[in-house]
Amino acid sequence: MMLKHIISMRDFSRDDIDIILAKAKEFEQIARGRKSGLLSGKILSTLFYEPSTRTRLSFETAMKRLGGEVIDLGSIESSSVAKGETLADTIRVIGNYADAIVLRHPREGAARMAAEYSKVPIINAGDGAGHHPTQTLLDLYTIMRESSLSDLKIALVGDLKYGRTVHSLAYALSLYHADMTLISPRQLQMPDVIKKDLKKQGAVISETTSLEEVIGDIDVLYITRIQKERFPDPAEYQKVAGSYRITEELLKSARDKLIIMHPLPRVDEIDPAVDRTKYARYFEQSFYGVPVRMALLVMAMEAG
Binding site for another protein (CB under 8 A): 8, 10, 86-88, 105-110, 112-113, 116, 127-131, 193
Q: What is the CA radius of gyration of the chain?
A: 19
Give every CB contact of residue 215 below 8 A, 6+ residues apart in sequence.
Answer: 155, 221, 250, 251, 253, 254, 258
Nearer to another protein, 83 or 276 (CB): 83
- Residue 54: CA atoms inside 13 Å, Cβ hemisphere, count? 15
Q: Are 130 and 87 in contact (CB under 8 A)?
A: no
Nearer to another protein, 106 or 202 (CB): 106
Q: Residue 105 Cβ, how far from another protein at the closest point, in Å?
A: 8
Count of beta carbons in the 10 Å neighbourhood of residue 225: 18
Nearer to another protein, 137 or 143 (CB): 137
Q: How far apart (Å, rounded) are the C-alpha atoms in residues 272 and 163?
A: 23
Q: Residue 107 Cβ, how far from another protein at the closest point, in Å?
A: 4
Largest CA distance in the chain: 57
Question: Of 118, 75, 74, 120, nearest to 99 (Cα)?
Answer: 120
Phi, psi angles (nearest 5°) of residue 205: -125, 130
Nearer to another protein, 67 or 109 (CB): 109
Q: Residue 120 Cβ, how far from another protein at the closest point, in Å?
A: 19
Nearer to another protein, 199 or 278 (CB): 199
Q: Residue 50 Cβ, how far from another protein at the closest point, in Å?
A: 13
Q: Residue 40 Cβ, how far from another protein at the closest point, in Å?
A: 34
CA separation, residue 50 to residues 138, 195, 265, 295 (Å):
21, 29, 16, 24
Q: Residue 111 Cβ, how far from another protein at the closest point, in Å?
A: 9
Nearer to another protein, 57 or 194 (CB): 194
Phi, psi angles (nearest 5°) of residue 169: -65, -45
